[in-house]
Amino acid sequence: MPLHWDENLYQYIKRVAEVSARLGIPSIEEEDGVVIQSISHAYALRGANDLFLLDLGAGIGYSTLWLLMGAKPVCEEMRKRCRIVAVERDPILAHYARKVLSEIQMKSSRVIIDVVEGDATTYLEREWRIVRWI
């Protein structure tokens, strides 16, 4: 399945990037977003029926949208159960992320997007039982 380019989602991503910049939130470059899209697309193509992706330090959801851009077409065409979790510790940014991602969530039938307010390390330790080595 070739990499799909969703122009509507891309335009939304650009608007979110502008808001992020106005709020002074550091974010990745668009070229890095395309790399994230490509990686999430390739990862979604693997054989498992479930797909789970994490965005740690999600800000208002800019990188999360790039994950969605890559995974969504595969999830829909291959009818996979797909979930993206955006973890953000700043309550204000988490609030914005919920708004940003809930708007796009309605347009995606196969991908569930959750925003978790909290520290990424704590989330990994609690939800994934990943032990901190340092």
pTM of the model: 0.90
Give the tens place of pLDDT for each residue, 111-121.
999 999 999 99
What are the boundaries of each domain within the chain? Answer: 7-128
Counting every residue written for the chain, the total comes to 134
Q: In whole angstroms, what is the distance from residue 95 CA to residue 132 CA? A: 27
Tokens of 14: 């650009």
Indicate the fold that domain 7-128 takes in CATH.
Rossmann fold (3.40.50)
Condensed to tens digits (0 to 9), the pLDDT of residues 10-58 reads: 999 999 999 999 999 988 999 999 999 999 999 999 877 889 999 999 9
Task: Give 63's Cβ-side CA count (13 Å radius).
Answer: 21
Q: Report the alpha-carbon distance of residue 103 to residue 117 in Å, rounded.
A: 18
How buried is 4 (Cβ within 10 angstroms: 0-12 exposed, 13-18 middle, 19+ buried)? middle
